[in-house]
């Protein structure tokens, strides 16, 4: 059900001819009128045109619709790209009869090629004509790139619903990564509440995902609240439900990482604070050597130690304690005797967890990482 | 000839039994007495015990000898590792009859396992007994890890010689990387001159090498000046010759990157200053997607744009101009029509160059990067 699960939202996914003929590549999610909205975006300094435009359009904290395309990121496209992003918003606003600044825009796909804006503008009326409150899966399908499955999630709160759709695959090391997500709710919420909660939840979910250590130009997460349920939610409950939906989508992305085999849950403990714990976890899982050891199911804690120290964050190289699937392999940076063959056998089976205590404080974070596989390299090496 | 090419140095490489029986794994380079010395080291916060000790021993800016082992990095070894590094220095000082602080120490190999210090201390007298002015290659061989060839270089100045040996392979993203290098000269130079020139040259050579984006715990470069040639060199000439030797060794490391296929020379132009140009180049070549495109010979400039923006450095996403092997593929962030098949054919042939203009100033730097190959992943995934 995804984004159309809450009252007050319609969606559509159609084929605009950006990807192969017949493949869905254009999605619209729309409310009945302008509603409270919040967004979080890539911090990449090469942020794509749609990111710049959506950030601008969110300055009044409201939106009527989001138009999203796959098959082209509209990044690295200069001022022509900026015009194309605006044209997408204009065509959507015209179709819906709303103000242009009430339309948010997102694109995903290869970086560099120009956006086929004529194809998109031709298809936007079709998409708007197809809008209905059942087509969440069509929209979620239309934003896929190298994703192998569409990604949807919902959570039910006390008298309201939260729905979401996302795409991931590669170039996913959010801050944000090339991930797009649209979240909707029918709860009654101010934009301030949406923004605060989205930022906090995004930091603990999407921003804790590390598929390949490559921060994208296009990451965007939008949260729209229609208020159609007429319920003012308990904020603590809402934030927890929002967290559930976002974590669900983030884990769906991790499991569908481009040509990856496993999801490794890395729990960092004992950092100076939670934010630094997250950065240490991200730095560790950025390392090719660490992710290659994940692929091999090798409890190579020395690489974690080396990678943790590579970042600008304080770690105590003499106080690192590391466990794989609960088996302690090093304590205070001294390798232990452990039942190595038994551990190797469990690590070979699939997903596993790594606990890293860095010995500098009380901060903690959990990172959801993918392994680095030969298949990922081959897949991403081929000229398109 | 390497480190023994200049007058006043002897070297030896022996087998201490750290690696497989019979494989050389312990090297000593020694001057006839204490000489002026300088060093540059990893900035990894998990710096290994030998790095900490050598940095400490260089506080008086002189050294008599360097003892180096391969087969174990003595990193992630806590206080036992610190004692082991000191024991290596003590045994070497005893054998040579010099002060302990006049011995520098370096280790390279897997991170985590304890250093087999008894084996090393037993073999140090053998190494000292084997010291002579012909054994540069033996020493260069004894510091190899997954290197497939030993790495040596020399340059001749006006009345003096500079020699060097190094090891590289993987975990090589100097700042420094797991690279070790020993540089010697018989010119007469103060430690201040050595330190200034080594730092400047290191930044333009070893620190511009990016094999796998993984900064190591053990990188160390030492420069010793025996003065045995009796010549006070022109500093400008000396720095140029030192640059030649360091660049030669850095390129040997790039060509011998672990399971890598190509060396890609990335010239960054138009950054705010040279240091930022270097950081942008390093950030770009850290990206798995960029290095996978290097492997495939794919002129995927969009990934360069995305990766450049991922760092904390100012880039202008609308002003990036990119050429592969001199063929411009994008100008001011707009993709050009270019003879794609002809370019793909040249990129498929082996090493190539990439020029990236980032449009924010006059700074420039050249990075020597390796491609990311499926073989690298497989090789580094296997539990040892």
Q: Residue B76 and residue A212: Cβ atoms within 8 Å? A: no
Question: Distance of alpha carbon B107 from its chain centroid, rounded?
Answer: 13
User: Residues B309-360: pLDDT tens digits?
Assistant: 877 787 787 888 999 999 999 998 888 999 999 999 999 888 999 999 988 8
Mean pLDDT of B115-143: 95
- A 10 A CB-CB count for B116 gives 18
A183 contacts A222 by C-beta, under 8 angstroms: yes
B4-32: average pLDDT: 93
Nearest one of B207, B190, B182 to B3, comparing CA atoms: B182
* Predicted pLDDT at B360: 87
Fold: same for A2-255 and A263-379: no
pLDDT score for B177: 38
Using pLDDT thresholds of 50, 70 and 90, give the confidence band for residue B176. very low
Determine the number of helices (DSSP H) and then strands (DSSP E) in chain B: 11, 15
Q: Degrees (nearest 5) of the Cα angle A34, A12, A170?
A: 100
Cβ(B231)–Cβ(B349) under 8 Å?
no
Query: Which contacts (CB < 8 Å, 24+ apart) does range A328-334 have?
Result: A329/A299, A329/A301, A330/A301, A330/B76, A330/B112, A332/A359, A332/B78, A333/A305, A333/B76, A333/B77, A333/B78, A334/B77, A334/B78, A334/B80, A334/B114
Q: Are A232 and A323 in contact, with CB atoms under 8 Å apart?
A: no
> Residue A58 carries which DSSP code?
G
Given a contact cutoff of 8 angstroms between Cβ atoms, the answer to whether A133 and A162 are in contact is no
| Interface contact B301-A112, CB threshold 8 A | yes
Work out whether strand A62-70 and strand A26-41 pair parallel, antiparallel, or are unpaired: antiparallel
User: Rounded to 5 degrees, what angle do the CA atoms A368, A373, A378 make?
Assistant: 130
Residue A326 backbone zone (phi > 0: left; psi -120 to 50: alpha; other: beta): left
pLDDT per position as a tens digit, B278-306: 889 988 898 888 989 999 999 998 888 88
Nearest to A290 by CA among A367, A177, A345: A367
B136 within 8 A of B162, measured Cβ to Cβ = no
B305 contacts in A (CB within 8 Å)?
Answer: 46, 75-76, 111-112, 217
Q: What is the per-residue pLDDT for B256?
A: 78
pLDDT of residue B255: 79
Continuous segment of H or E residues that includes residue B273:
none
User: Is there a contact between A330 and B111 if contact means CB atoms under 8 Å apart?
Assistant: no
* Nearest of B213, B25, B252 to residue A306 by alpha carbon: B213
Nearest to A244 by CA among A155, A181, A175: A155
> Residue B178 catalytic?
yes
C-alpha to C-alpha distance for A347 and A350, rounded to whole angstroms: 6
Asked if B63 and B100 touch (Cβ cutoff 8 Å), the reply is no
SS3 call for B139: helix
- pLDDT bracket for residue B178 (50, 70, 90): low
Read off the tokens for B185. 């000269």
| Residue with token string 């370096």 | B106
> Chain B, 335-354: which have a CB under 8 Å from a chain A CB?
335, 344
B-facing residues of A in 6-45 (CB < 8 A) are 44-45
CATH of A2-255, one of 3.40.718.10, 3.40.50.970, 3.40.50.300, 3.60.70.12: 3.60.70.12
Low-confidence residues in chain A, pLDDT < 50: 174-177
| Size of chain A, expressed as the number of residues it contains | 384
Contacts of A306 in chain B (CB under 8 A): 44, 46, 75-76, 111, 171, 214-217
User: What is the domain class of B263-379 according to CATH?
Assistant: alpha beta
Query: Are A105 and A132 contacting, i.e. CB atoms less than 8 angstroms apart?
Result: no
Using CB atoms, pick whichever of B171, B289, B302 lies closest to residue A212.
B289
The whole-angstrom separation of Cα A124 and Cα A92 is 6
* In chain B, % of residues over pLDDT 90: 42
Smallest CA–CA distance, residue B231 to chain A, in Å, is 40
**Tokens (6 digits) for A161:** 């619903």
Q: Is the pTM of this model over 0.80?
A: no
Select from A115, A321, A383 the residue whose CB has the most chain B CBs within 10 Å, as the one to mutate to test that interface.
A383
- pLDDT higher for A241 or B46? A241
Helix axis angle for A78-96 and A117-130, nearest 10°, is 20
**Which of B154, B346, B128 lies closest to B241 in space, CA to CA?**
B154
Residues 141-170 of A with CB under 8 A from B: 170
Cβ contact A58:A50 at 8 Å? no
User: What is the phi/psi pair of residue A58, to 5°?
Assistant: -85, 0
Torsions phi, psi for A309 (to 5 deg): -75, -10
ipTM of the complex: 0.71
Q: Would you say residue B173 has pLDDT above 70?
A: no
For residue B355, what pLDDT is reported?
Answer: 97
HSE (side-chain half, CA atoms, 13 Å) at A243: 13
From A47, A313, A334, residue closest to B78, measured CB to CB? A334
**A189, A195, A200, A202 alpha-carbon torsion, rounded to 10°:** 100
A295 part of contact set with chain B, CB < 8 Å:
yes
Give the pLDDT confidence score for residue B261 in this predicted structure.
81
Q: What are the extents of the domains in chain A?
A: 2-255, 263-379
Confidence of residue B246 (pLDDT cuts 50, 70, 90): confident
At residue A171, the pLDDT reads: 57
Closest chain A residue to the Cα of B298, Cα to Cα: A383
Q: Is the pLDDT of residue B168 over 70?
A: yes
Q: Is the peptide bond before B364 cis (omega within 30 degrees of 0)?
A: no
DSSP assignment letter at A89: H
């Amino acid at each position: 059900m995804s984004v159309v699960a809450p009252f007050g939202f319609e969606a559509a996914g159609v084929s605009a001819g950006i990807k192969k003929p017949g493949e869905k590549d254009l999605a619209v999610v729309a409310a009945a009128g302008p509603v409270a909205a919040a967004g979080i975006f890539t911090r990449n300094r090469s942020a794509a045109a749609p990111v710049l435009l959506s950030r601008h359009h969110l300055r009044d904290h409201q939106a009527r619709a989001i138009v999203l395309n796959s098959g082209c990121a509209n990044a690295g496209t200069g001022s022509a790209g900026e015009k194309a992003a605006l044209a997408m918003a204009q065509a959507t606003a015209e179709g819906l009869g709303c103000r242009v600044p009430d339309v948010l825009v997102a694109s995903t796909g290869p970086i560099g090629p120009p956006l086929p804006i004529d194809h998109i503008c031709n298809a936007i009326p079709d998409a708007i004509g197809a809008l209905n409150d059942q087509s969440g899966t069509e929209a979620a399908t239309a934003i896929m790139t190298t994703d192998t499955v569409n990604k949807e999630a919902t959570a039910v709160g006390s008298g309201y619903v939260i729905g979401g759709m996302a795409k991931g695959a590669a170039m996913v090391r959010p801050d944000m990564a090339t991930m797009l997500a649209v979240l909707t709710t029918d709860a009654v919420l101010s934009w301030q509440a949406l923004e605060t909660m989205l930022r906090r939840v995004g930091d603990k979910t999407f921003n804790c995902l590390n598929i390949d250590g490559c921060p994208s130009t296009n990451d965007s997460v939008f949260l729209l609240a229609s208020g159609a349920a007429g319920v003012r939610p308990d904020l603590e409950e809402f934030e927890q439900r929002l967290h559930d939906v976002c974590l669900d989508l983030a884990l769906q992305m991790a499991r569908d990482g481009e040509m990856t085999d496993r999801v490794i849950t890395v729990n960092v403990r004992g950092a100076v604070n939670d934010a630094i714990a997250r950065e240490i976890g991200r730095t560790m899982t950025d390392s090719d050597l660490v992710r290659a050891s994940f692929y091999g199911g090798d409890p190579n804690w020395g690489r974690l130690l080396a990678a943790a120290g590579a970042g600008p964050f304080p770690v105590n190289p003499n106080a690192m304690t590391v466990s794989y699937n609960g088996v302690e392999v090093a304590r205070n940076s001294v390798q232990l005797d452990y039942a190595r063959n038994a551990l190797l056998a469990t690590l070979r089976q699939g997903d596993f967890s790594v606990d890293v205590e860095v010995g500098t404080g009380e901060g903690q974070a959990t990172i959801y990482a993918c392994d680095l596989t030969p298949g990922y390299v081959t897949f991403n090496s081929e000229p398109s």
